[in-house]
Structure 1
Amino acid sequence: MLQAEWMKTKRTAFRYIVLITPIIFPIFILMYISSYKMDYSWQIRVYDIYFQTLGVALPMMASILTGLNIMGEESAGNFRGLITEPMERYKIYLSKLTMLVIITIVDMFISTGILLLGMKVIYNGTNISYGIFLSGTLFTIIGSLFLYGFYLIVSIAFGIGPTIAIGVGGGVWGVLLQTGLGDRIWQFVPWAWSGRLESIPYVKFADFIKFKGLENTQNIKISMSNLAATEFNKGMPIALISFVIITILGVLWFEKWEGRKTHD
């Protein structure tokens, strides 16, 4: 079923986006960072610009990909192919959700891999903190999982327009919550999860404390470690549990869904 879902995207904007974006995005980041001086802080600044951009873009991109995927089903006889599929409804729904998640995982790690390879070329001979970048990638993905389940329901029920509108509006909200405004509530807003969770591995850079000008602060290492653990415990369980809940709700809803009305 996953293979069939992928075949449906042939010669569509969906496939072009998922194949081209993970290559183009890190190339633009590499072009931007090529002017950075190779000092103690360059990796921290690269991590910062790369993942902050992803934290903003991924929730919006998820809405576009989900909307485009369902738009193809809508164009094929107003969901007749989807509704009359001789297969259990839950398998149809889960195959779509699984494909979106797998594509996101693959694209994200390809993008980060290209970035790391480019960093190695640009700053030849420098030790790169691969583990921190890969951890940031994983945390960013986990932070976006709920949104795919949510967008899938919205796309099937209302179409690509409302899905993208929610994605853009939520993305803007998520940006605001990356600041101090979101310190107390970010864990309750799905559009802030990717941006907040990716910042957790950030503190593991050897020169992070020096970069922030906190090297003379008493017990700063312990404080930063405790802060990272607190942020992890606040956001990670909610992100994972919410994904499970939205997946179950989506399956139950899709089992009873009878198609969208013509005037919707």
Structure 2
Amino acid sequence: MNALPGLLKADLLKMRRTPFLLIHLLTPLIGAALFMAYYTISSAGEGVKVMAFLQSVACAFPTVIGLVCAMAAEQEATAGGFQGMLVLPAARSTTYASKLLLLLGFSLGAVLLIFVLFSLGFAGLLGQDRHGILFYLTGAVILFASNILLYLVHFALSLRFGRGISIGIGITGSLLAALMLTGLGDILWPYIPFAWGGRFLSLLELRHSGSWQPFADTGLAAGVSVCIAGTIAAGVLSMLWFYKWEGRSADN
């Protein structure tokens, strides 16, 4: 692991000339601006506006994950057919961890940015927010943590099968995340990784607004348990898979 800082720096330099950095900066800026613009004319209540923001960001996240994981994998593919990951003197676990940490680090930064911008705009520009910055920081961490499994899965899929699979599953995941916010997802959502972010944030808002219902405790406990166990399992399995992976064939 002594090589990890150097690998992280090298991976960051590789991404410097790609849209990877701009996506993580511009997406939160544009997203927060669009919500502020709409909420200046919307007559909905504060709680409804906050819930809509939280759920919209959570539903968009799977598509963004599919896109950025595909970009990270394709950068390695075009730079030398993945040889930069497979033949380095550093342990494979270290090279794999470097890529994942880069993806997760920028993910956390982007989520924090859009939540903080929304909080500042909602309170400062519209004067409507009584939730407080701590609420949004908590929500950002919850959303980030609930999507770690998706990064593990999408990055492995991108490496193995290419960007089309990752982006396609990401778009499907966003649609499924929205569907799981309806009554159809009341029972199923703890077992659908795409649904975790939206459901966790919805429950956070319900608890904050005093609309918490006792039945939600069961779904929350199941969701947290499955999320933690699934993320750990996905991390171990993806690492084991990468140890045996020898690169993608030219026709993939």
Normalised by the length of structure 2, the TM-score is: 0.91
1:70 — aligned with what?
73
CA offsets 1:99-153 (integer angstroms, 9 cap, x no match):
1111111111111111111112223486443333333222222221110000011
Taking the aligned partners of 1:120 and 1:143, their CA distance within structure 2 comes to 26
Q: State the partner residue of 2:83.
A: 80
Q: Which residue of 2 aligns with 1:219?
A: none
Asked if 1:11 corresponds to 2:14, the answer is: no
Which residue type is aligned with residue 87 of structure 2?
T
Deviations 1:58-102 (A, max 9, x none): 011001000001100000121122211121001111111111111
**Partner in structure 1 of residue 27 of structure 2:** 21
Q: Deviations over 1:32-71 (max 9, x none)?
A: 111245xxx7331221121111121001100100000110
Q: Where in structure 2 are the equivalents of 1:1-264 lying within 5 Å? A: 1-37=7-43, 42-124=45-127, 127-206=130-209, 209=211, 224-264=212-252
Aligned mates of 1:144, 1:127 — CA distance in 2:
27
Identity between Structure 1 and Structure 2 (%)? 27
Q: How far apart are residue 199 of structure 1 and its match? A: 0.7
Change (3 A) 1:136 1:228: farther
Q: Is the 8 A contact 1:43 1:128 kept in 2?
A: no
Number of equivalent positions:
246
RMSD between aligned alpha carbons? Answer: 1.8
Residues 228 and 184 of structure 1, relative CA distance in 2, 3 Å threshold? closer
Question: CA 1:200 to 1:262, structure 2 compared with 1: closer, same or farther past 3 Å?
Answer: same
Letter in 1 for 2:155: L
Q: Given that residues 112 and 133 in structure 1 are in contact (C-alpha distance below 8 angstroms), is that contact kept between their aligned partners in structure 2?
A: yes
Aligned mates of 2:162, 2:95 — CA distance in 1: 18
Structure 1 residue 184: Cα displacement: 1.2
Determine the C-alpha separation between the residues in 1 that align with 2:162 and 2:128: 50
**Contact 1:22/1:107 (CA < 8 Å) preserved in 2?**
yes
Q: Kindly provide the amino acid, as one letter, of the partner of residue 41 in structure 2.
A: S
- 5+ unaligned residues in a row in structure 1: which ranges? 210-223
Match of 2:195, as an amino acid?
Answer: A
Aligned counterpart, 2:4: none
Larger radius of gyration: 1
> Matched residues in 2 for 1:60 and 1:235: separation?
21
Provide the C-alpha distance between the structure 2 equivalents of 1:240 and 1:34, rounded to a whole number of angstroms: 38
- Matched residues in 2 for 1:127 and 1:56: separation? 24
Q: Distance in 1 between matches of 2:179 and 2:128?
A: 38
Asked if the contact 1:186/1:192 (under 8 Å) is kept, the reply is yes
- CA drift at 1:225: 4.6
